[in-house]
Structure 1
Amino acid sequence: MKTNQATKILIVEDEMIIAANMSLQLATLGYDVTGIMLKGEDALVHIKQNIPDIILLDIQLKGTLDGIETAQIIQQDYNIPIIYVTANSDDANFNKAKSTNPYGFISKPFKKQDLQRSIELALNRFYSENEPQPELEHDEENTAPFILSDCIFVRHQDKMVKVQIDDILYIEAERNYSRIHSKNKEYLLVVTLKDLEDKLPENHFIRIHRSFIVNLSQIDEIATSHIVISKKAIPISAESKKQLLQHIQKV
């Protein structure tokens, strides 16, 4: 965890009075506010030039992109914890926002203590999730999966186990590893999601998020901002959704 410099926070809030008050409170708490963006589009440009440690993001923005759509685009390229700020806490908005796996929600109106506690909890979770893991002792040639046209052989408890491609639901990135979620079991592979993506048969799998590859035949639902596989909501951006639909039509 950082100790030698202030945590950098980006505020994305279209009500300037609220944003200015939030910035003032954050400054008194010792945080470094990198900017106040009124629109999601402006936030995307700002992040390219000055990556923050955390983002406070209003769900209801007045620009082309709302807060949830902005979060989805950010998550395609950056690993930045996002805390939603909202005055509208109805179930529909909450469930839609939940699909982006945020690090917290702050309801308006809020107190300085709400900000401080939400940020501290988010940062603790973020650093815990991204803490370097001890190297696993392994022989890469023996642990790398063997990928065939209809199945994958993966290392599991000192054995190579066959997993039918039709049984794989989705594959999730976990730092430098990948976790296969199948109908009956989960398997942790010593391979990055990118390396695995390059080897998987394209007619069965597609990457819809920086952290997820899905099995096309297992998709139960395609919603506006997520897909559903076996009751698991997986976030998807508008561009990835477009590519997914095109891919399905080809298959």
Structure 2
Amino acid sequence: MKKNNTILIVEDEMIIAANISLQLSHLGYEVTGIITKSDGIMPHIAQFVPDIILMDINLKGNLDGIEVAHLIQKEYKIPIIYLTANSDEVNFNRAKETNPYAFISKPFKKLDLQRAIELTIIRVQEEQSREKHADLTTDEPYILSDCIFVRSHDKMVKVCIENILYIEAERNYCKIHCKDKEHLLVTTLKYLEEKLPANNLMRIHRSFIVNLHHIDEIATSHVVIGKKAIPLSAELKKQLLLHIQKV
């Protein structure tokens, strides 16, 4: 049996459906069921959630296969392969609106079915790979009330805001300085200033945001954090002193 490749057969002709089920079993796929009427499809999917649906367009019941496909896609992301003896232009255009993964006209050969399913599986794997890659390679940090998740190689790393000493701008990059580590972000200081909670973090210079809890000294034109002298804008010094009193 092929792992993670379960298939639901929706076909109003039981003889044809049984033949398809036999072919799928020989190919190593698991058939979750055979449905002949439109009203039995959604309850079955809710219980088994197949990986692929073979959908006949002409069904017994109040809805045809295309109408059922629209219902399915409102709740699930399941690839649909249409099976139909009626391949006229109107039905084909209606079917295209549901973005099917394949369209097989009856009568079809076992090889037609096999190739359609294999191509569908390849397409699904490519889509999943792209989604995973996009999630892991996003440069934009996830900012919560007490921490930031920043990208580090192929994973997102949690940085607690209380552990941040200061944030330094370097053109379109920002470097987060913590006690024992630095994190480089592909974002602007302005973006971080707008998104970060303002409780303990404050911008004191066009190139620096500091954590008020970690300030060791306040001088005329700079502050000191962990032996690092950070420039202090004259117009922001008064604001800084007011914030320090509230912390």
- TM-score w.r.t. structure 2 length? 0.54
Q: Which residue of 2 aligns with 1:17?
A: 15
1:114 pairs with 2:112: yes
Aligned residue among 102, 105, 117 for 1:104? 102
Identity %: 59
Q: Distance in 1 between matches of 2:59 and 2:141?
A: 50
1:64 pairs with 2:66: no
Q: How far has the Cα of 1:139 moved from its partner?
A: 3.6
Q: How far has the Cα of 1:43 moved from its partner?
A: 1.1
Q: Which residue of 2 aligns with 1:78?
A: 76
Q: Which residue of 2 aligns with 1:224?
A: none
Compare CA radii of gyration and give the structure with the larger one.
2
Q: Which residue of 2 aligns with 1:123?
A: 121
What are the residue-to-residue correspondences of 1:59-208 with 2, within 5 Å? Answer: 59-131=57-129, 132-133=132-133, 134-140=136-142
Q: Which residue of 1 aligns with 2:164?
A: none
Q: Deviations over 1:42-97 (max 9, x none)?
A: 01110000011100000111211100011000001111100000001111000000
Secondary structure of the 1:130 match is: helix
| Distance verdict in 2 for CA 1:4–1:106, change over 3 Å | closer
| Distance verdict in 2 for CA 1:4–1:67, change over 3 Å | closer
Secondary structure of the 2:137 match is: coil
Q: How far has the Cα of 1:41 moved from its partner?
A: 1.6
Q: How far has the Cα of 1:115 moved from its partner?
A: 0.7
Q: Distance in 1 between matches of 2:41 and 2:125?
A: 23
Contact 1:8 1:32 in 2 (8 A): yes
Aligned residue among 24, 41, 44 for 2:42? 44
Q: How far has the Cα of 1:5 moved from its partner?
A: 2.3
Q: Distance in 2 between matches of 1:22 and 1:94?
A: 22
What stretches of structure 2 of length at least 5 have no aligned partner?
A: 144-171, 173-247
Q: Distance in 2 between matches of 1:31 and 1:54?
A: 10
Contact 1:55 1:82 in 2 (8 A): yes
In angstroms, what is the RMSD of aligned CA positions? 1.6
- TM-score w.r.t. structure 1 length? 0.53
Give the residue type in structure 1 aligned to 2:138. Answer: L
Q: Distance in 1 between matches of 2:10 and 2:104?
A: 13
Contact 1:6 1:30 in 2 (8 A): no
Q: Which residue of 1 aligns with 2:181?
A: none
Bigger relative contact order, structure 1 or 2 (CA pairs below 8 A, ≥6 apart): 1
Secondary structure of the 1:101 match is: coil
Contact 2:79 2:120 in 1 (8 A): yes
Question: How many correspondences in the alignment?
Answer: 140
- The 4+ residue runs of structure 1 with deviation greater than 4 A are none
Q: Distance in 2 between matches of 1:47 and 1:12?
A: 11
Q: Distance in 1 between matches of 2:2 and 2:16?
A: 29
Contact 2:2 2:28 in 1 (8 A): no
Q: How far has the Cα of 1:6 moved from its partner?
A: 5.6
